[in-house]
Amino acid sequence: MTRTKVAVIGSGNIGTDLMIKVLRHSDTLEMVAMAGIDPSSDGLARARRMGVPTTADGVRGLVDLPGFDDIAIVFDATSARAHIANAEVLTARGKRLVDLTPAAIGPMVVPAVNLTDHLDAPNVNMVTCGGQATIPIVAALAAVAPVPYAEIVASIASRSAGPGTRANIDEFTETTSHAIAAVGGAGTGKAIIVLNPAEPPLIMRDTVLALVDAPDHASHDAIRTSVAAMVDQVAAYVPGYRLKQQVQITPAPDQILTTAPVTHQVSVFLEVEGAAHHLPAYAGNLDIMTSAALRVGEALAAHLAQEVAA
């Protein structure tokens, strides 16, 4: 079977882990190039050891690599600001982009929620690590009862937050908050990220707090069933994704700043353990991004193959 040729821009932790996932775990994607801007980066060195052509001249260097014209999909694991410039160069050359930064130029995609909705878009955005972990839960709640408000807290090990993550904190909160509503189905969303300096490093923990109109035991049971089914869907491509404890449903607080009907608060506690392909197991925040991006890349490749066949 002919595999779809792909490249990665960004030779940091996320880009390197994604490259390894493509090389070792994808039957439909072929890793043919990695681009970075630091000639001495560990990511570029590892790519060369694994036989992947590299350039340290960024997106311009990628364009000049032999075989660039054959690349169909480019994963961007740089930064929100860099992605804007990268997208201008690559979209003009007909490349499909999977954006792992919080730039959110293109439609936001969370595989367990809307994988097939934007396969024709030239640039799809993977939201954020916190978004990938929590938006499926918000969507599971919204599938059962109205969710006027949802708030998520993503706690990650400080060691797993590299320069790119730290430079994008503002974009993280803005993009995730927007996606909680636009993709998850909440009326309003809020996102908080915590860099936990604990030693030894703790694995990623995510909390979803949502106000819902779920007045009776039947709706409570439906919520728990919907959340459990969604956790299974995400775990299909992120094996370390799991509920930390049973879903909690309690009467809504007395003071609620919403005009929508609200009867209960739902609290969902999650844990994301990394697969340790390249990154430590505690870096579930990075692993969920690369796993989700790989899932989207493979769906895009299948869609492109169908277009060619047609």
Annotated binding site for NAD(+): 11-14, 160-168, 285
From the CB of residue 169, how many other CB atoms can be counted at a distance below 10 Å? 13
Residue 125 · residue 172 · CB < 8 Å: no
Helix (H, G, I), strand (E, B) or coil at 44: helix
Structure tokens at 284: 């579930």
Find the catalytic residue in 129, 141, 152, 156.
Answer: 129
Eight-state DSSP code of residue 278: S
List 33's β-bridge partners, or say none: 7
Best CA proximity match to 100, nearest among 120, 84, 79? 79
* 144 assigned to active site: no
Binding residues: 11-14, 160-168, 285
Give all strands (DSSP E) within 15-127, no chain letters: 29-35, 54-55, 73-76, 96-99, 123-125
Residue 100 · residue 76 · CB < 8 Å: yes
Q: Is 302 exposed, middle or buried (0-12, 13-18, 19+ CB in 10 A)?
A: middle
From the CB of residue 48, how many other CB atoms can be counted at a distance below 10 Å? 12
Residue 88 CA to its chain's centroid (Å): 22
Residue written as token pair 């708030």: 151
Best CA proximity match to 53, nearest among 19, 29, 78, 76? 19
Eight-state DSSP code of residue 159: G
Residues acting as catalytic residues: 129
